[in-house]
Structure formats: C-alpha cells, structure tokens
Amino acid sequence: QVQLVESGGGLVQPGGSLRLSCAASGISFSFYSMGWYRQAPGKQRELVAKITDVFSTNYLNSVKDRFTISRDNARQMVYLQMSSLKPDDTAVYYCNAHWEQRRVDYWGDGTLVTVSS
C-alpha cells in the first residue's frame, strides 16, 4: 500500500520559517520525482517545488530563494524548507510522487500552512 504522509504544517508569522516533511512508503522511492504542491482556498493546486530522481530541482517563481526542496532516498523522505514566509504562502501543501515512465502519481492528504500575524 502506497502512503505519502506529510507533516510540519502549522501557524507561523510572516517572515517565519517552517519545514515540511513527507514520508513515503510502498513505492520504489528512488525512481520517483517528488514534488510539493499547494492549494489555497478558491485557487487551483500549483506546483511549488520538485526534485527529480537525479536530484534536479525546480521551483515556482514566487518561492525561489525562499524555499528549498530536498530528498533522502535512504529514509524515503522529501522535505520542503520554507523561509521568509508570506501570507500568500497560506495553503494546504501536498506531497506528490511521480514516475514519468510508468505514468504513476501518488498524493498525500496534505498539511495546512497558515501564515498570519
């Protein structure tokens, strides 16, 4: 059974930092690109950051230089370090596992990040 379990969300003041974690199980983790998406109320889900199986990364323009995605294949974990948080970063953040060759996608249930004073 595939599971992606996010953690680390919460309430933070503007300018603060949070680290999101995603624990994966039931997949051959090293073969997957891992991504963090977010969905704010009334908006479409968007890709925030992605790290491929060969550790190539890309980011949403609005989070570049503030967010860093990383992965630990041995622990089957992916992280999103978020700093200089803004109210616009408020959203539910979802972990995604994607294997292009097999056209497979898995999603976690999400973790809420609220940036507010």
Q: Are 50 and 34 in contact (CB under 8 A)?
A: yes
Q: Over range 10-29, report the average pLDDT.
A: 97
Average pLDDT, the chain: 97
pLDDT of residue 100: 87
Per-residue exposure over 50-82, b if at least 16 CB sit within 10 Å of its own CB, e if not: bbebeeeeebeeebeeebbbebeeeebbbbbeb
Above pLDDT 90, what percent of the chain? 97
pLDDT tens for 26-44 read 999 999 999 999 999 999 9
Spatial neighbors of 65 by CB under 8 A, at least 6 apart, are none
pLDDT band at 67 (very low <50, low <70, confident <90, very high): very high
- According to the model, what pLDDT value does residue 105 have? 95
Residues 47-66, mean pLDDT to the nearest whole number: 97
Categorize the per-residue pLDDT at 54 as very low, low, confident or very high, splitting at 50, 70 and 90.
very high
pLDDT in the model for residue 15: 98
